[in-house]
Structure 1
Amino acid sequence: MAHSDAEALQALLGPSARFCRRGLTGQDGVALAPLIDHHLHLHLVDEHALPAHGIAGAVDLGGDPAYFARRPKHGMPQVEYAGAFLTVPGGYPSFRSWAPAQIVHIVTSSSAAPGVPGGARTSVDEMADAGASVIKVALHNTEGPVFDTHTLQVLVAAAHDRGLPVVAHVEGDGMTRRALDAGVDVLAHAPFTERIDEDLVAAAVAAGQRWISTLAIHDDPQLALDNTAAFAAADGRVLYGTDLGNGDRPAGLVPAELRCLHRAGIRGPALIGALTDPWPRAAFDRGVATFVTGPAPDAEAGIPAWLGGATVVPAEELITREP
């Protein structure tokens, strides 16, 4: 590779990058922190294929809370989850064929009191008691009703009382602003149905909001790319996420998503940062690492294709070596 030392490697790929030899196979390559897909749906994905294709951690943003409560907590990929989508009667995604009843929870009351059936507080408590790390709400007004402002505020407050961030599926005019005003912490998709103006971008950044990319799911991603580029340029935190299960794509790292992030100006160490941010954890289990056989790319433009060769390996297999 053109980069001849560890300092140059980290300038290209960020501080977790190091030259390594894989002890089990004798292959030379580069190690990185574990890669995480911050938005997918495990009931629609072959989760066992994820580690072989680079993904060590997965955040399920819409699944059966009872299944996840029973699921073993160890093994690969390491999974965090929201449990079911919280939505209103007739709201998204209750009318989608890919959304069985188990992954949709209908909130029928704005009640902030615990134990009220269908109440906002109770709905959050049910997901939290099932082990959820995040709470997912639907704000999709192009095909159905959405939460009123008060109910959304109660949901966010209840989640924060449980120490959990709130992720919103935002789709339709005005929904990004509604999410921000209610204190939503993360957007499940970079906004793709409305152009986000400079003031709203600045407000989202100031609030510490994160956006999960999911750029490659769109037939025409340009609007989402433009919004993401503006958010990233203003120092907004973008997380790599693919919405795997949406469309026919193999499980694992999605090079098309990486190329979209690169187009949005999220490149080099910033791209690796979007992939390795441990959110919603404070830190990821460092018992595993990402390993890519062979030399690193010569420039940032080569990183998306190069990462296509990533796999997850036990960290103890990797021996740091000199370049």
Structure 2
Amino acid sequence: MLTAAWPVRRHATGETGTSLPAFADHHVHAHLVDIDALPARGIARVLDLGGDPAALARRPSGLPRVTYAGAFLSAPGGYPRGRAWAPDAIVCDVSNPSPHPGVPGGARTAVDAQADAGATVIKVAMNADAGPVPSDEVLAAVVAAARGRGLPVVAHAQGPGQVERAIEAGVAALAHTPFDPSLSRRLLAHAAEAGQIWISTLDIHRGDARARAIAHLGAFAERGGRVLYGTDLGNGLLPLGVNRRELLALQEAGIRGDALVASLTDPWPGHSDADAVRSFIAGPAPTDLDDLASWLSHAVVVPTEELTRVD
């Protein structure tokens, strides 16, 4: 029995089914996909983790509800600068740790630019496998400036030592489950104890990288780590809407039952304001938890007023 599930009747169709809190994808890139298609396929809220802050600020309100980081904060020449999918507007170079506003290339200047455009998180690129990464001084300054604006920092941490650096700097969340081969159990426990959040993005991987990511996420969750469903939508051929393969990978990592639903419905980085809509799935919730991922992938977003509880 799922704690958050309601048995309901849907007025528009007469169907009976199950209602759950609105689902979120905690890692998308809206400039690369048609996010307007997502509510019909189960996603009511998205967190954009790398886009043009001006374009995101202009997006009209409605579904899916979009919160965003704005541009990647990156070392000059670092990831994702120069990638075909990353126009200049989605990358902001940070070259020094200045805490003063208006300093070109300064950490405070970069954070302020995203926050002033409406960002609710700050994204920092720490991909050492793909170029230079911010220094310890710059990273600390970005985290401090973000805290000054009341915003958490989320990092793409990849390559030797980057997950460790993110934890020590006080980065609130990792945009991807780490898939580096050399993460110790002590490090995974440290991440969980520090209260760090990991966004899953397991389905972007294949082979050994996928196996490592699933193993790391399972160990992190076992130690109390907070896990959010996210797909990195826009990265390759991922399905629009609730991704059954992502959910199956989460289950493989041990994120099952209520924990799997919680990864989909967690309101981070804000507070839930999605009471006006719910996720609806025709039919009763499955009694076999092995069937849960496939069942959840059939969700649609509907107005709460369209549903009547029947229990």
The TM-score, its normalising length taken from structure 2, stands at 0.98
Q: How does 1:241-256 map to 2 (within 5 A)?
A: 241-256=230-245
* Contact 1:172–1:194 under 8 Å retained in 2: no
* Contact 1:39–1:244 under 8 Å retained in 2: yes
SS at match of 1:199: helix
Aligned to 2:223: 234
* Contact 2:200–2:229 under 8 Å retained in 1: yes
Aligned to 1:86: 73
* Contact 1:34–1:284 under 8 Å retained in 2: no
For 1:297 and 1:46, locate their aligned partners in 2 and report how far apart those are by CA, in whole Å: 31
Q: % of aligned pairs identical? A: 54
For 2:94 and 2:174, locate their aligned partners in 1 and report how far apart those are by CA, in whole Å: 20
Aligned to 1:31: 19
Aligned to 1:56: 44
For 1:70 and 1:292, locate their aligned partners in 2 and report how far apart those are by CA, in whole Å: 32
Kindly indicate whether residue 7 of structure 2 is the aligned counterpart of residue 22 of structure 1: no
Aligned to 1:170: 157
| 1:173, distance to aligned residue in structure 2 (A) | 1.1
Report the AA paired with residue 129 of structure 1.
D
Report the AA paired with residue 118 of structure 2.
G
Aligned to 1:318: 307
| 1:263, distance to aligned residue in structure 2 (A) | 0.2
Cα distance, 1:203–1:131 mapped onto 2, change above 3 Å: same
The TM-score, its normalising length taken from structure 1, stands at 0.94
Q: Which residue of the other structure, out of 219, 244, 265, is the alignment partner of 2:254?
A: 265
For 1:308 and 1:142, locate their aligned partners in 2 and report how far apart those are by CA, in whole Å: 33
Aligned to 1:214: 201
Kindly indicate whether residue 66 of structure 2 is the aligned counterpart of residue 70 of structure 1: no
Report the more deviating stretch, 95-104 or 311-320. 95-104
| 1:250, distance to aligned residue in structure 2 (A) | 2.8
| 1:219, distance to aligned residue in structure 2 (A) | 1.3
* Contact 2:97–2:141 under 8 Å retained in 1: yes
Q: Deviations over 1:161-205 (max 9, x none)?
A: 100000000111110000011110000000012332121112111
Give the superposed CA RMSD: 0.9
Q: Which residue of the other structure, out of 157, 161, 167, is the alignment partner of 1:180?
A: 167
Report the more deviating stretch, 295-304 or 24-33. 295-304
| 1:126, distance to aligned residue in structure 2 (A) | 0.4
Q: Deviations over 1:201-258 (max 9, x none)?
A: 1211111100000001001210000100000000100000000100122311100000
* Contact 2:177–2:213 under 8 Å retained in 1: yes
Report the AA paired with residue 24 of structure 1.
A
* Contact 1:87–1:106 under 8 Å retained in 2: yes
* Contact 1:195–1:223 under 8 Å retained in 2: no
Q: Which runs of 4+ in 1 moved over 2 A?
A: none
Aligned to 1:152: 139
Report the AA paired with residue 150 of structure 2.
G
* Contact 1:36–1:275 under 8 Å retained in 2: yes
Aligned to 1:203: 190
Aligned to 1:275: 264
Aligned to 1:106: 93
- Unpaired runs of at least 5, structure 2: none
Aligned to 1:6: none
| 1:294, distance to aligned residue in structure 2 (A) | 1.3
For 1:96 and 1:313, locate their aligned partners in 2 and report how far apart those are by CA, in whole Å: 37
* Contact 1:195–1:227 under 8 Å retained in 2: no
Report the more deviating stretch, 277-286 or 19-28. 277-286
Q: Deviations over 1:92-134 (max 9, x none)?
A: 0002111111101111221111111111011000000000000
SS at match of 2:278: strand
